[in-house]
Amino acid sequence: MPKFAPRMSRIVGSATLRMNNLAAQKRATGADVVSFTVGEPDFDTPEPIKEGAIKALRAGRTKYTPTSGIPELRKAIADVAAREQGIPCTAKNVLVAPAKQSLFYAFQALVGQGDEVLIPDPAWVSYDPMVRWAHGTPIPVPLEAATGFRMTPEAVAKAITPRTRVVVLNSPANPTGGANTPDDVKGILSLAIEHDLWVISDEIYRHLQYDGKPLSPASLPGGFERTWTIDGPSKSYAMTGWRMGWIIAPESCIEAADRLQSQSLSNATSFAQDGVVTALTGPQDSVAAMKAEFLARRDLMVAGLRALPGVTCPTPAGAFYAFPHFDAKQWGGLDDTALAMALLDKANVATTPGSAFGARGTGHLRLSYACSRERIAEGLKRMAAFQGAL
Ligand code: PMP
Ligand code: GLU
């Protein structure tokens, strides 16, 4: 067989999606698996949003759209960002693309050979490979459980070198649920201004912050011109399968992302864009209702984890992940990968090993609590039984 291109050695598959696939495979054999793997709300997309897309389909909105997105959606996104995030933007500052794809464009547009990109450690599994794919060097910024996994300006300052080009913020964060304080965001933006860095601010969990309030760096003086804000409806409107999202950035950045999009995706799915217009312009009560339920699940998950021997778990301020540490001495000497595999094999509980999220995730598991309270309680019961039998 002919060989793949050398660049393929720079990309690994997503560990979160891999664990999700393993759980699905086991389920397909008839096993009753409790899945705490993928970060995806168990709720169905609210009915009015579906109706918006169905109406668009019926009206024949099934053709290519402008590459940056339909004007109504770009305007709706800009209006929400200005109102809720305080970002000084208009429709011209918006490109519609799935959130993951949006991040891919951002790294492709900003990162060159040998450029250093500061990413949180632990962080969501896709930043590191996306930076490498752009020929950049990911530089981990250590986050501490003791501070609730905030990304502090002090830790960022220590990681800056003359080669630093981009700093990535993700708050509330995957996989820790940590949230940066407004002072963290202000301090990191000051550093970005001082060192002339780009900022990529992944705010996809901004609706799901339970403690404290989110602050967008693009809303601060000197922030907008250097920040790519990434957002989308997947988590807050239960729309993961729609593959939608957006970039908010200066016009020159949108023009760059538009060029990348025009040569890859062409445009986000036409009728799905209409569904998102409905989501953003319609009643927002389902967002609040889902958030309230996630908060109840968080409290159940965290309390249950803390009751397990050898487990420490900071309270996640947002998103729908808990990121507890497991003392291997009380968990059969298993490291996080072995523990995740054993829990799946023996207890039918699927989790993601913390080391998939960076060196500082070692010894942790990520548990997504985007599933029902009954399943959370059942999974915790199985984990306790598994530990008791070790
Ligand atoms: N950023 C973070 C931090 C995420 O957790 C996810 C979820 N997969 C994404 C971006 C990508 O979101 P989407 O699936 O909407 O592309
Ligand atoms: N972000 C989600 C997660 O971390 C979905 C999977 C992915 O995109 O990696 O589980």
Q: What is the pLDDT of residues 292-307, one digit of tens each?
A: 999 999 999 999 999 9
Domain extent at residue 80: 61-281
Of all ligands present, the nearest one to the C-alpha of 240 is 1
237 lines ligand 1 (CB under 6 A): no
Contact 313, 354 (CB under 8 A): no
14 lines ligand 1 (CB under 6 A): no
> What is the C-alpha separation between 149 and 335, in angstroms, rounded?
21
Task: Judge if the upstream peptide bond of residue 138 is cis by omega within 30 degrees of 0.
Answer: no
How far does residue 172's CA lie from ligand 1's centre (Å)?
A: 12
> What is the C-alpha separation between 36 and 300, in angstroms, rounded?
14
Contact 199, 228 (CB under 8 A): yes
Residue 270 and residue 121 share a domain: yes
Residue 347 and residue 244 share a domain: no
286 lines ligand 1 (CB under 6 A): no
Phi/psi at 168 (5° precision): -105, 125
Residue-wise DSSP of 296-350 = HHHHHHHHHHHTSTTEE-PPP-BTTEE--EE-GGGTTT--HHHHHHHHHHHH-EE
Domain annotation covers residue 270: yes
- Helix, strand or coil for residue 60? coil
pLDDT of res. 330: 97
Of all ligands present, the nearest one to the C-alpha of 172 is 1
CB atoms within 10 A of CB 268: 26
Closest C-alpha to 365, from 155, 387, 200: 387
Q: Supply the DSSP symbol for 364.
A: B
Strands 321-322 and 311-312: unpaired
Residue 187 and residue 87 share a domain: yes
Residue 205 and residue 309 share a domain: no
| Distance in Å from the first CA to the final CA of the chain | 46
14 lines ligand 2 (CB under 6 A): yes
Residue 247 and residue 174 share a domain: yes
Residue 69 and residue 29 share a domain: no
Looking at the structure of the chain, the number of domains it has is 2
219 lines ligand 1 (CB under 6 A): no
Domain annotation covers residue 50: no
Our CA dihedral for 179, 213, 289, 297, rounded to 10 degrees, sits at: 30
Of all ligands present, the nearest one to the C-alpha of 206 is 1
> What is the C-alpha separation between 279 and 77, in angstroms, rounded?
10
> Whose C-alpha lies nearest to ligand 2, atom 5?
39
Residue 143 and residue 180 share a domain: yes
Residue 116 and residue 81 share a domain: yes
> What is the C-alpha separation between 361 and 371, in angstroms, rounded?
23
Both tokens of 190, joined, read 């000051």
Closest C-alpha to 179, from 155, 157, 202: 202
Domain annotation covers residue 253: yes
Q: At what angle do helices 99-110 and 251-262 cross, to 10 degrees?
A: 110
pLDDT of res. 1: 93
Tell me how many degrees the CA angle 138-143-146 measures, rounded to the nearest 5: 170
Domain annotation covers residue 384: yes
232 lines ligand 1 (CB under 6 A): yes
Closest C-alpha to 225, from 258, 248, 256, 249: 249
How far does residue 130's CA lie from ligand 2's centre (Å)?
A: 14
Strand blocks (E) in the chain: 34-35, 94-96, 116-121, 137-142, 164-170, 198-202, 227-231, 246-248, 311-312, 321-322, 325-326, 349-350, 352-353, 365-368
Residues of the chain with pLDDT under 70: none
CATH number at 232 reads: 3.40.640.10
Residue 81 is which amino acid?
A
> Whose C-alpha lies nearest to ligand 1, atom 7?
39
Compute the residue count for the chain: 390
pLDDT of res. 362: 98
> Whose C-alpha lies nearest to ligand 1, atom 5?
174
Residue with tokens 């220590």: 158
Domain annotation covers residue 49: no
Domain boundary among 281, 306, 325: 281
Domain annotation covers residue 263: yes
CB atoms within 10 A of CB 263: 9
Residue 266 and residue 177 share a domain: yes
- Helix, strand or coil for residue 97? coil
CATH number at 312 reads: 3.90.1150.10
Of all ligands present, the nearest one to the C-alpha of 19 is 2
Domain boundary among 234, 254, 281: 281
How far does residue 221's CA lie from ligand 2's centre (Å)?
A: 32
245 lines ligand 1 (CB under 6 A): yes
Residue 153 and residue 224 share a domain: yes
Residue 66 and residue 40 share a domain: no
16 lines ligand 2 (CB under 6 A): yes
Contact 150, 180 (CB under 8 A): yes
How far does residue 175's CA lie from ligand 2's centre (Å)?
A: 9
How far does residue 340's CA lie from ligand 2's centre (Å)?
A: 17
Q: Which residues have C-beta within 8 Å of that of residue 222, sequence separation ≥ 6?
A: 189, 193
Residue 162 and residue 21 share a domain: no
Domain annotation covers residue 221: yes
Domain annotation covers residue 315: yes
Domain boundary among 281, 313, 337: 281
